[in-house]
Amino acid sequence: MDTSQGNPMMDDSITPQPTKDGGPRIDCRNIKVFYGQAEAIHDVSMSFPDRAVTALIGPSGCGKSTFLRCLNRMNDTIENCRVEGKILMDGEDINDADVDPVLLRSRVGMVFQKPNPFPKSIYDNIAYGPRIHGLANGREDLDAIVEKSLRRAGLWEEVKDRLSAPGTGLSGGQQQRLCIARAIAVQPEVILMDEPCSALDPIATARIEELIDELRNRYCIVIVTHSMQQAARVSQRTAFFHLGNLVEMGDTGQIFTNPREKRTEDYITGRFG
Amino acid sequence: MSDHIVSAYSEELERLSADLLKMGGIVETMITGACRALVSNDLDLAKEVVLRDPLVDTIEADAERQIVSLIARRQPMGHDLRMILSAMKISSELERIGDLSKNIAKRAQRLDENVNVEMRNAITRMAQPVSRQLKDVLNAYATGSADKAKAVWSADDDIDLHYNAVFREMLTHLVEDPRRITAGAHMLFMAKNLERIGDHCTNIAEFVYYQAVGDYLSELERPKQNQF
């Protein structure tokens, strides 16, 4: 899959700097989320290490997606939704008034459940972000970013001869990798994935999982998944949410072989909670 | 522990652990049978013990098939995963105990008239704590008790002491009358088999403990008295 090895095109110019002193990329403190009066997330504190995959698992409605959306202020776009607490990214509170949410979302990219390429060419899907953020100096530079991003997303070989074809014409798995390439193109530090494989077949899923494994050498990745096997396969840390609470967080191996909390045990083994 | 949402999964796990307990029960009767056959020189009983062994092997093979199927179809996690892995190990430990018991029963049929009652009693004396260890560890398994498992695990040095005593006693009998050497050699193997059964019981105790707690009993803490 990895076509980047030893490839001069894959210099690290679009790789984020590691965090200072190797600390967490994102540090969340006492996060509460309200929809109107209803509190959906109850005082959750957790941090996300750099260059590692953290999986958020839990039953539907447990708040894991709501929590994920806090990390790039996607909840701002939902009326009635209010977030309390501090989310520090490289020491800076992302909810500060002077933080531009658009800029933040380029640093914290997101991939959704259903692949959502723009109704544009494959090339323009990738080039759009770098253009509006002014990351490219001219066409040549832009071409290089498009190629690097597609290579890094493991899609280049499959699409290099039809870059002007519409992104929506690709298969589901290819579309999802296109969306990952699009997120990478704007030089994010963090990639959020909200059930990125639930609409894909097992082979396309395996490709995405392989890609996630490669990407974790460069990014802080947070993935929400309903598949515990997927969480077990791709992540190094796993957090279990239940009814808006963070029940338990730990090394993935420990969570799936020997969880400390009974609610985690009941959930991962498929028992009534 | 409450039931799985998929009830067939719970039933499969229950069946696996029931099969293991059944296997344990048969193996238990094999040890006691072999020792009873020895002390009363009951050759029919000894033969019968030998014939029970294939049943143990069959259950073990079937348990292994169940385990492979559970892993492939259910992708077990947490306690279920530990239970299944432990079952795999425990079934092969029980199978070994069955083999060793069978071997005692086989040797019991080969003893000649030179064996005296004291020699027979010495082996039986040692068999008692070994049987108790097996009974206790099966009980720990049935109840999923880490404490009971740990108690069995710590009690193995008692068997080692018994073994050392039997070994010395047997040598004394052999020195007294060299005609006893053939039978005595068989009986030394019997004692060694019992000592090995004790070790297998502690292995089972370790797996029961792992299943219950998710941690490993450290080999370092356990007292060892075995000199031979």
Concatenating the DSSP letter of every residue in A151-189 gives HHTT-HHHHTT-TTSBGGGS-HHHHHHHHHHHHHHT--S
**Is pLDDT at A249 greater than 90 in this prediction?**
yes
**Is pLDDT at B212 greater than 50 in this prediction?**
yes
Of B45 and A13, the one with more pLDDT: B45
Assign A109 a pLDDT band (cuts: 50, 70, 90): very high
Model pLDDT, residue A18: 81
| Sign of the torsion angle spanned by Cα atoms A176, A180, A186, A190 | positive
Q: Is residue B226 part of a domain?
A: no
Q: Which residue, A129, A55, A52, A50, is CA-closest to A91?
A: A50
Chain A interface includes B7 (CB < 8 A)? no
A235 interaction partners in chain B (CB closer than 8 Å): none
Assign A180 a pLDDT band (cuts: 50, 70, 90): very high
**Is pLDDT at A169 greater than 50 in this prediction?**
yes
> What mean pLDDT value characterizes chain A?
91
The alpha-helical segments, DSSP class H, found in B40-180 are 43-74, 78-110, 117-143, 146-154, 156-176
The alpha-helical segments, DSSP class H, found in B144-180 are 146-154, 156-176
The mean-pLDDT minimum among A18-27, A169-178, B91-100 falls in A18-27
Q: Angle formed by the axes of helices B7-39 and B78-110, to 10°?
A: 20
Model pLDDT, residue A48: 97
Taking CB atoms and an 8 Å cut-off, how many pairs form between chains A and B?
Answer: 41
Chain A interface includes B78 (CB < 8 A)? yes
- Give the residue from B77, B79, B83, B213 with the most A CB atoms within 10 Å of its CB, the best one to mutate: B77
Q: For residue B75, give the chain A residue with the closest CA.
A: A229
- C-alpha span between B223 and B156 (Å, rounded): 8
- C-alpha span between B22 and B175 (Å, rounded): 43
End-to-end, the C-alpha distance of chain B in Å comes to: 43
Instruction: State the residue range of the domain holding B72.
Output: 3-221
How many structural domains comprise chain B? Answer: 1
Q: Is residue B64 part of a domain?
A: yes
A198–chain B nearest CA distance, Å: 18
Q: Which residue, A185, A72, A183, is CA-closest to A135?
A: A185
Q: Is residue B188 part of a domain?
A: yes
The CATH number that applies at residue B170 is 1.20.58.220
A264–chain B nearest CA distance, Å: 9
Assign A5 a pLDDT band (cuts: 50, 70, 90): very low
Q: Is residue B227 part of a domain?
A: no
Q: Is residue B176 part of a domain?
A: yes
**Is pLDDT at A12 greater than 70 in this prediction?**
no
Across the interface, of A232, A259, A272, the residue whose CB is closest to B2 is A272
Q: For residue A268, give the chain B residue with the closest CA.
A: B77
Q: Is residue B165 part of a domain?
A: yes
**Is pLDDT at B116 greater than 60 in this prediction?**
yes
- Two structure tokens written together for A217: 């050498």
Q: What is the rounded average pLDDT of the residues A73-87? A: 94
Of A9 and A131, the one with more pLDDT: A131
A258–chain B nearest CA distance, Å: 5
Q: Which residue, A219, A230, A205, is CA-closest to A51?
A: A219
Q: Is residue B61 part of a domain?
A: yes
A257 interaction partners in chain B (CB closer than 8 Å): 77-78, 81-82, 214
Q: Is residue B228 part of a domain?
A: no
Q: What is the rounded average pLDDT of the residues A126-131? A: 95
pLDDT digits (tens, 9 = 90+) for B178-189: 999 999 999 999
Chain A interface includes B2 (CB < 8 A)? yes
The mean-pLDDT minimum among A3-17, A250-264, B23-37, B52-66 falls in A3-17
